[in-house]
Every structure is written in structure tokens, then in C-alpha cells.
Amino acid sequence: DIQMTQSPSSLSASVGDRVTITCRASQTISTFLNWYQQKPGKAPNLLIYAASTLQSGVPSRFSGSGSGTDFTLIISSLQPEDFATYYCQQSLKTPRTFGQGTKVEIK
């Protein structure tokens, strides 16, 4: 299985901050990498697919980059509604594996 490792596991930030979350795959996955946002008690919501393509309707303050084994999700200016847990997920091979999540909390 391809293992996905996110860092940090949690972070505290203020509204307006630039936030960076990283995801590392245990083997190369090209750009077969998706990012999801999950709020408490809710289903995950797709933010980015193919490492850098913004899903329709997702604010442009979210961006993704990377290829191979190292990927980054950036929130350019954190908004109150962005406090949530973020997951990366590889879509190259079965089983489709997720990172353990990064919880973004209010400082």
C-alpha cells in the first residue's frame, strides 16, 4: 500500500495567516494527489485534485502543488470557515489511501 504522511498533525493559526500543509507519499505518485477539507460532523469536501487543480466552487485562496512524493496545500489567507481538518489522498493505486489529517485550529 502507498502510505501518505501529513505534517503537521495539527497547527494553530490566526485569521489572515498563510497556512502550509505538507503530504508525503511512500512512493512516487506523479500528480495523483487529492486534498479534502472536513469539518466536525460533516463529510469531507473535495478541494483540489491532480495535485493542483482547484475543484469548482472552491475559493482561490486554496492552492496545491507538488509531484512525485512531496505535495503542499496552501491557504493564502486563512478565513474563519477554514478551521477544519485537511486530508490528502492518493489516487494512483488501490487501495486509495489517505493521510492521517491535519487539524487547523484557531490561535
Partner 1 sequence: QVQLQESGPGLVKPSETLSLTCTVSGGSISSYYWSWIRQPPGKGLEWIGCIHYSGSTDYDPSLKSRVTISVDTSKNQFSLTLSSVTAADTAVYYCARRSRSGTYYFFDYWGQGTLVTVSS
Kindly state the smallest distance separating residue 19's Cβ from partner 1, in Å.
Answer: 19
Stretch that binds partner 1, among 21-29, 64-72, 73-81, 91-99 (CB under 8 A): 91-99
Q: Residues 82, 38, 23, 64: what is their CA dihedral angle, to the nearest 10 degrees?
A: -50
CA distance 73 to 86: 9
In degrees and rounded to multiples of 5, residue 85 shows phi and psi of: -110, 140
Contact call for residue 37 and partner 1 (CB under 8 A): no
CA distance 61 to 19: 10
Kindly state the smallest distance separating residue 42's Cβ from partner 1, in Å.
Answer: 8
Kindly state the smallest distance separating residue 6's Cβ from partner 1, in Å.
Answer: 9
Contact call for residue 40 and partner 1 (CB under 8 A): no
The site for partner 1 (CB under 8 A) is made up of 1, 31-32, 34, 36, 42-46, 49-50, 53, 55, 87, 89, 91, 94-101
